[in-house]
Amino acid sequence: MIKAAVVGGSGYIGGELARLLSRHPMISLEAITSRQLAGKMVSDTHPYLREYVDLEFSGSITGEGMDVIFLATPHGASMQLVPDLVRSGAKVIDLSGDYRLKDPKVYQEWYGHEHTDPHNLKRAVYGLSELYWQQVSDSDFVSNPGCYPTCAILGLAPLFVEGLVKEGVAVDAKSGTSGAGMELTRATHHPNCGASVNPYKVGRHRHAPEIAQTLGHLQGRPADVVFVPHLIPVVRGMLCTMYLKLNEDIDKKRLMGIYAEFFRGKRFVRLTDVPSMQAVVGSNHCEVGLEVLGNRNVVIMSAIDNLVKGGAGQAIQNCNAMFGWPEETGLDFPGLGV
């Protein structure tokens, strides 16, 4: 058994990491930190962990004695912690946005402050393991992708790798309210979002450049991405519907063949006609479907659980790669279905 710690365990992602790690057959969860809750039982904050996680929150850790550390810290905080944690000898998986955008100028533009750890920014591997499994396997520091980018990129990757996209792509993305975190905001207050579909941060969402960066890397030239996120009245789950035009005539059967070959052997991506959030919520799966609408127009649809495949589950999938285990270790269970 390897020893793991979660830094920043008081929020939804930290709790989800603890839930999944508590049942992982190869990992012993040794510590969970929260400066505000230090000394209190983890299960008091996350009652669903009672009898599964018998730990108190600690104020901080150094990394000594740990084999892997998961950072579920806010943007800007991770880059203050990573240098020392990496030097401790532990493998590090960062779930914040601090190491996703590879250009420090782009990072500063979208996050509003200077990146203070350019050395580790250069060496961080982008942890979308369906695309970069070997790089993740060889790394000791991984930047976990954002939830929207995970959902969108997995749906679009085969077309961009094959160079089949004529121009750009429009991403219509919808997420459950848990994606906004535990802290109450005006946008997530139930009277505002409980019976509505609300677009937000149009043209300003930090996942837009992350999607464009990865799709551009896949096709070998800059990608034009229009990204519009929406908040929907569910707790967990995410659905991306993406619109693009192909640069040649390809029917649905051939496209599905391209997708089937691209994702061959990938345990957590499954192809279907119409993806369902209910089918993937609670699981690490991503469902992908598509339709060809004539005149080379294609609609791609993908669905994930924003807290699992879009966060904690993907981080554990990356951990599995880093330690040489099958990707499904500790994650091989279906969605809830309702």
Q: What is the pLDDT of residues 24-41, one digit of tens each?
A: 999 999 999 999 999 999
State residue 265's pLDDT score.
97
* Residue 3 phi, psi dihedral angles, 5° rounding: -100, 135
Give catalytic status of residue 147 as yes or no.
Answer: yes
Residue 186 pLDDT > 90: no
| Residue 254 exposure: Cα atoms within 13 Å on the Cβ side | 11
Which candidate in 147, 193, 240, 286 is catalytic?
Answer: 147
E-only strand ranges, 90-164: 91-94, 125-126, 141-143
State residue 169's pLDDT score.
98
More confident residue, 129 or 194: 129
| The CATH number of domain 148-306 is 3.30.360.10 | yes
> Quick one: angle between helices 147-161 and 129-137, nearest 10?
100
Q: How far apart are CA 336 and CA 280, in angstroms?
A: 7
Handedness of CA 30, 36, 41, 45 (dihedral sign): negative
Q: How far apart are CA 65 and CA 71, in angstroms?
A: 16
State residue 295's pLDDT score.
86
What are the beta bridge partners of residue 231? 175, 198
Q: Which of 19-23, 60-64, 90-94 has the lowest mean pLDDT?
A: 60-64
Q: What is the pLDDT of residues 241-271, one digit of tens each?
A: 999 999 999 999 999 999 999 999 999 999 9
Q: Which of 258, 256, 285 is nearest to 273 (CA)?
A: 256
Where does 2-123 sit in CATH, by number?
A: 3.40.50.720
Q: List the structure tokens of 48.
A: 């669903």
State residue 236's pLDDT score.
95
The mean pLDDT value for 112-131 works out to 97
Q: Model pTM greater than 0.85? A: yes
Q: What is the pLDDT of residues 202-234, one digit of tens each?
A: 999 999 999 999 999 999 999 999 999 999 999
Q: How far apart are CA 209 and CA 215, in angstroms?
A: 10
Q: How far apart are CA 270 and CA 311, in angstroms?
A: 18
Residue 86 pLDDT > 90: yes
Residue 182 pLDDT > 80: no
Q: Are 19 and 308 within 8 A, CB to CB? A: no
With tokens 């049942």, the residue in question is 23
Q: Which of 151, 144, 153, 175 is nearest to 71 (CA)?
A: 144
Q: Are 145 and 128 within 8 A, CB to CB? A: yes
Give the residue extent of every domain in the chain. Answer: 2-123, 148-306
Q: How far apart are CA 303 and CA 309, in angstroms?
A: 10
pLDDT confidence band for 289 (50 / 70 / 90): very high
pLDDT confidence band for 190 (50 / 70 / 90): confident
Q: Are 318 and 129 within 8 A, CB to CB? A: yes
Q: Which of 103, 80, 106, 116 is nearest to 206 (CA)?
A: 106
